[in-house]
Amino acid sequence: MAARLRVAVGAVVVAALFIATPATAEDFASCWVSVETDPLLGRERTVTRCRIAGGDVIDYASDHSVPSRLYPSAGVDLGGDCWYLTSAEGQWIYLGLYVNGDATLGWLPDPDHPEAIIFATGRIPRCTSEPGVIADPSIEVWEYVNEYIHPPPAPDVNPSAGNGVTGLKTFVGVPVPADHATQLSAAGVSVDIEIEVSGVIVDWGDGRTETFPASGTAMAGYPDGIATHVYERKGDGFDLAVSYNWTARWRIVGEPWEFLDVPNTTTSLAYPVNEIVSVITD
């Protein structure tokens, strides 16, 4: 019995040794094409090169197991916007594929709703050098907008801080940035961006907050501006805050606008308010 058991166990071990483990394909971070001229034929010959995830650059299908499926993605190589293939499933899909290797890709945020393609790249070439990844054009848009709106307001308060008095108007003036519109290329698509200050919010620090029109006239400060406030009680330092209320929107050229939830930029200052009390003396 024991001998039979040993034989059986041995057979299982031997079988396990000989059962081939399924080959696991490498993860290809990106595959692009290298175009070389065949010296005999004088014709362009396409070689696919791939960066193995976390590893070397190899020739596709040279002596490596290849992924069962590759997905398109948009990126940027030395020549500019381009498309490449990767084994990581993303949100780009083919909208058009041309015989010279160009493609048009669409951005599909929700695979369950293939009709909801947010935008399409223009016709872009296949990457011919290792691409940099741009997963989402809105990232570039977001970076651009945040860089633009970074400077906070620089308010001019009259009377100046330390000279505020109850019962007298305090004026706040602040320069209002002009409306800004631009077009840039992000991840292979041309996008329109519009940025504007849609209002100036003044928190007077005593419990009252007002929003004023974002115009140079309204925010001209003393004496013609309309951003004024009368403090009714004194305080050692009201937290007076002036904010630009930004509105930023972007779109793929020809597509509907999308708004970005941009935070206000704010400048705060301590604003003491004194009280002048009349005293009748003899």
Partner 1 sequence: MIRRLIAGLVVVGLAIGVWALWPRGEPDPSPTTTVNAVGSSTTSIRVASRTTGSTAAQTHVVTTVEEAEEILRALWFGWFEGIYNQDEERIKEVVGSQTALDSAEAQFGVMEFSAPPTIEQVSLSGTELLFSNAECFVAWATIDLSGFREGSSSGVHVIRRRDYAWVSVGLWDMKEDLWQQDCESQLEPLS
Say whether residue 222 binds partner 1 (CB under 8 A): no
Nearer to partner 1, 11 or 97 (CB): 97
Say whether residue 82 binds partner 1 (CB under 8 A): no
Nearest distance from residue 46's CB to partner 1, in Å? Answer: 5
Contact of 245 with 201, CB cutoff 8 Å: yes
Residue 207 — left, alpha, or beta (φ > 0 → left; ψ -120 to 50 → alpha)? Answer: left
What is the CB neighbour count within 10 angstroms for residue 173?
Answer: 22
Among 62, 183, 211, 217, binds partner 1 (CB under 8 A): 62
Say whether residue 71 binds partner 1 (CB under 8 A): no
Contact of 155 with 173, CB cutoff 8 Å: yes
How far is Cα of residue 263 from the mean position of the Cα atoms in its chain?
14
Say whether residue 47 binds partner 1 (CB under 8 A): yes
Give which of 119, 130, 246, 127 is closest to 186, Cα–Cα. 119
Say whether residue 23 binds partner 1 (CB under 8 A): no
Question: Residue 50 belongs to what H/E stretch?
Answer: strand 44-52
Query: What's the CA dihedral at 275, 211, 146, 271 to 10 degrees?
Result: 0
What is the CB neighbour count within 10 angstroms for residue 185?
Answer: 15
145, two tokens: 């907008």
Stretch that binds partner 1, among 93-101, 203-211, 257-265, 268-276 (CB under 8 A): 93-101
Nearer to partner 1, 60 or 148 (CB): 60
- For residues 173 to 192, the per-residue mask of contacts with partner 1, x marking binding by CB under 8 A and - elsewhere, is --------------------
Among 29, 70, 176, 186, binds partner 1 (CB under 8 A): 70
Cβ contacts of 234 within 8 Å, gap of 6 or more: 166, 273, 274, 275
Among 26, 27, 52, 60, binds partner 1 (CB under 8 A): 60
Contact of 122 with 186, CB cutoff 8 Å: no
Stretch that binds partner 1, among 57-65, 143-151, 208-216, 235-243 (CB under 8 A): 57-65
Nearest distance from residue 97's CB to partner 1, in Å? Answer: 4
Nearer to partner 1, 60 or 222 (CB): 60
Nearest distance from residue 44's CB to partner 1, in Å? Answer: 5
Applying CB under 8 A, which residues contact partner 1? 31, 33, 37-48, 59-62, 66, 70, 85, 96-101
